[in-house]
Structure 1
Amino acid sequence: MFEKISVNSLKYKTSELPNIPTNECVLPALTAGIQNQGLNNYVPRDNATILKNVISISANGANTGATFYQSKEFTVLQDAYAIKWIYTDEKLSDNSYIFLTSSIHKTIYGNYEWTNKAGWERIKNDKIKLPTKNGKIDFDFMESFIAELEAERVAELEAERVAELSAYLKVSGYDNYELSDEELDALQKFEMLEWSSFNLKDLFGQSTRGKRLKGADRISGTLPFVTAGEADEGISAYISNDVEVFEKNTTTIDMFGSAKYRNYKYGADDHIAVVHTEKLPKYASIFVTTAIHKSSHNGQFNYGKNFYAKDADELFIQLPVKNGTPDFETMELLISSVHKLVIKDVVLYSDKKIAATKKIVSDN
């Protein structure tokens, strides 16, 4: 059903070839790689055998037997080859080629290795399974089957987009991601804000220090237990021990000065200072956390000099002011704006992904 395509031998070294198109090297070249369908280098078109709408097969390395349908122009560089359909006189559609490619890949990939490479002479007699009708290969089924899969993929992406948007809006408490007039105004006036320095203890009272709880003494449960570190935002375990429970909408500062906003109740060990911002509106509290982090996490605290609750009480942070007092309303608007803009970026990314998928489908 297939034959190997003869191509001009190219003497280029892959190490000397670009991985992106240049003025001279514009033609994708096939190697034994699996990334980008094996098209990992670019060569000049001169003296190259230009192929299109054929199947490529890796013939070397860990990916020997990896099979791809190449619908765009390319050439063969090394450690791979291309085959074309010869069983019937009719020209096969892209969808039929995709179906054939998947059948070949399923048959040979994983059955060959370094010492038994998937060269053409070895695989050409392997059998592949294809749909038939009245004793003949059913190309109509291949066409409709691949088209249906492509339509399902587009539908899945669109459903994922709706679900992602709904989830982000729900968590953030928004109906939509469009900025309000007040949020737009706050963003536009950001450069004109007046700032002032404030002591944390004066703003929120004395900070609290957690208590040590050895790992061996922790009893499994549902209460997040915060320790120093960035992994999982410092949550090292979920416990049921009888420990002090700190309120949500507060800020923790670990031994290195790293500040994090907590929107849930939690316990904390002795390397954690808790700043009691719970009376602030949520987004104002998040803004304050960023201001704390900027002031406390710039290298002055480390293993040799830990950050403690007393350091939080002495810490000064920069905040926007109005009439000489912290402008928490503007802080809320700014953080709300940032949240909505991030959600919008995620939605736009999803839209681009769907549009790209639709274009690939239509091109095929």
Structure 2
Amino acid sequence: MNKKFKLSELFEKAELKSIYPKNFKKERDLSNIKTSEFNLPLVNAKHGDNGIMYFGRDTDFQGLEMTLGVISDGAISTGDVNPQPQKTGVLYNAYLIKPKWRNVVRQHLLYTASACKKAIKNKFGYENKAVWDRVKLEEITLPAYITGEIAFDYMTEYIKELEAERIKELEAYLLATGLNDYVLTDDEKKLVDDFKNGTVPWRTFKVDELFEKSTRGKRLKSLDRTNGDLPFVTAGETNNGISAFIGNEVFKFKKNTTTIDMFGSAKYRNYQYGCDDHITVVHTEQLDKHSAIFVTSALDKAAHTGDFDYSRNFYAKDADNLFIKLPVTDSGTPDYKKMSIYLRAIEKLVIKGVVEWKNKKITTTAKIVNEHTS
């Protein structure tokens, strides 16, 4: 059976202290990637990536394990709820809530995070912030025994079975696509080492030096869209920015190009698509796939800095005026071959981790599924 619970019955807001250093500066005291120094993930108004955009020093921010992160503000991210089993802190526009029950495990967080997001996501927004005083009054539905107690063991087994099912699907996908090949060639090994050791030369380029003029999409109102097969890209992180599949006669942008939305978020597109006027297209189609992805990463780093929002949108002219850093040849031109080899090597390294993780998880989860089935 299912039972409704008020969030204040199940969770309490964590009161965390931020011990900022003197003259705190984001560019100096935060990192976009996890390092030995910046090792504490920080929840903030980030849609996607589990609500984490920055990492801080654990000496600067207090962190907690086994919590849910709730985003209270943000045009897109308000009302997002993400499980945070690892030690996590808060930067801004978000907070952590702690379960009140004992013996919290990761599966409890995954299950309740989904239930919480379902309950609050559409009730709050940019003009109605999801602060705890409001959120705690909302109700979520959880499995329960006849006695009324929450069925935590059911939640645990349910999540484990879902994970086992997804792992089997992953195994089938890797085999079907040939992505089980993760052995680096000698050239790939050397290049990875060169990047790691800082021996690869780089140079800064203005985007309009490298590609033809960037292009802006054209507005197509939601009510005017017809159903079809063409991905239609708008601003946002959900579904990689694809808001609909349309049948309208619109300009089709080529695959192997890069889009940058009104907030400065860049994404690689390996398919034809249409887009609205909040999207800028950078014409990387002359590059091979892996070097185009490398350039997309450089574009995102240059554009997705927090300088663009609803009051100041990112447009095509902004893309053309971006400065990006790329590896270069001895003559100082962009070394797209090196970029492509490096991205293929990184792809293999990621796949290697996924395959090894998959093999380990299949072994352990098969036992769980068999026991549960019997």
1:22-78 residue CA offsets vs partner (Å, 9 max, x unmatched):
xxxxxxxxx99896999xxxxxxxxxxxxxxxxxxx8954347979xxxxxxxxxxx
Cα deviation, residue 355, structure 1: 3.3
Q: Which has the larger radius of gyration?
A: 1
Cα deviation, residue 182, structure 1: 1.5
In structure 2, the partner of 1:110 is none
**Distance in 2 between residues matched to 1:204 and 1:214, nearest whole Å:** 30
Residue 345 of structure 2 corresponds to residue 337 of structure 1:
yes
**Distance in 1 between residues matched to 2:102 and 2:146, nearest whole Å:** 6
Residue 202 of structure 2 corresponds to residue 187 of structure 1:
no
**Distance in 1 between residues matched to 2:241 and 2:309, nearest whole Å:** 16
Matched residue pairs, number? Answer: 230
Cα deviation, residue 312, structure 1: 0.9
The within-5 A match list for 1:75-224 is 160=169, 162-169=171-178, 176-190=181-195, 191-224=198-231
1:167-214 residue CA offsets vs partner (Å, 9 max, x unmatched):
453xxxx57121111211110110211110111111011001111111
1:204-253 residue CA offsets vs partner (Å, 9 max, x unmatched):
11001111111111111110111111111111111111111000000001
Secondary structure of the corresponding residue to residue 222 of structure 1: strand
**Distance in 1 between residues matched to 2:275 and 2:225, nearest whole Å:** 12
Q: 1:59 to 1:330 in 2, by over 3 A?
A: same
Q: Residues 161 and 347 of structure 1 are in contact (CA less than 8 Å); yes or no, is this contact kept in structure 2? A: no
Secondary structure of the corresponding residue to residue 223 of structure 1: strand
Q: Residues 233 and 244 of structure 2 are in contact (CA less than 8 Å); yes or no, is this contact kept in structure 1? A: yes
Q: 1:64 to 1:347 in 2, by over 3 A?
A: closer
Cα deviation, residue 160, structure 1: 4.8
Secondary structure of the corresponding residue to residue 326 of structure 2: strand
Q: Residues 199 and 316 of structure 1 are in contact (CA less than 8 Å); yes or no, is this contact kept in structure 2? A: yes
2:315 to 288, 308, 314: 308
**Distance in 2 between residues matched to 1:315 and 1:35, nearest whole Å:** 45
In structure 1, the partner of 2:257 is 250
Residue 149 of structure 2 corresponds to residue 62 of structure 1:
yes
2:285 to 278, 290, 294: 278
TM-score by length of 2: 0.54
Superposition RMSD in Å: 3.7
Secondary structure of the corresponding residue to residue 268 of structure 2: strand
Secondary structure of the corresponding residue to residue 346 of structure 1: helix
Q: Residues 230 and 273 of structure 2 are in contact (CA less than 8 Å); yes or no, is this contact kept in structure 1? A: yes
TM-score by length of 1: 0.56
Q: Residues 33 and 63 of structure 1 are in contact (CA less than 8 Å); yes or no, is this contact kept in structure 2? A: no
1:262-306 residue CA offsets vs partner (Å, 9 max, x unmatched):
000000111111000001010000000000000011011111111
Q: Which amino acid is 2:306 matched to?
A: G
**Distance in 1 between residues matched to 2:192 and 2:238, nearest whole Å:** 32
Cα deviation, residue 357, structure 1: 4.3
Q: Residues 217 and 279 of structure 2 are in contact (CA less than 8 Å); yes or no, is this contact kept in structure 1? A: yes
Cα deviation, residue 345, structure 1: 1.1
- Identity across the alignment (%): 52
**Distance in 2 between residues matched to 1:37 and 1:269, nearest whole Å:** 39
Q: Which amino acid is 1:335 matched to?
A: L
Residue 332 of structure 2 corresponds to residue 327 of structure 1:
no
Q: Residues 171 and 358 of structure 2 are in contact (CA less than 8 Å); yes or no, is this contact kept in structure 1? A: no
Q: Residues 34 and 63 of structure 1 are in contact (CA less than 8 Å); yes or no, is this contact kept in structure 2? A: no
Secondary structure of the corresponding residue to residue 192 of structure 1: coil
**Distance in 2 between residues matched to 1:178 and 1:332, nearest whole Å:** 16
Structure 1: 5+ residue stretches without partners: 1-18, 20-30, 39-57, 68-153
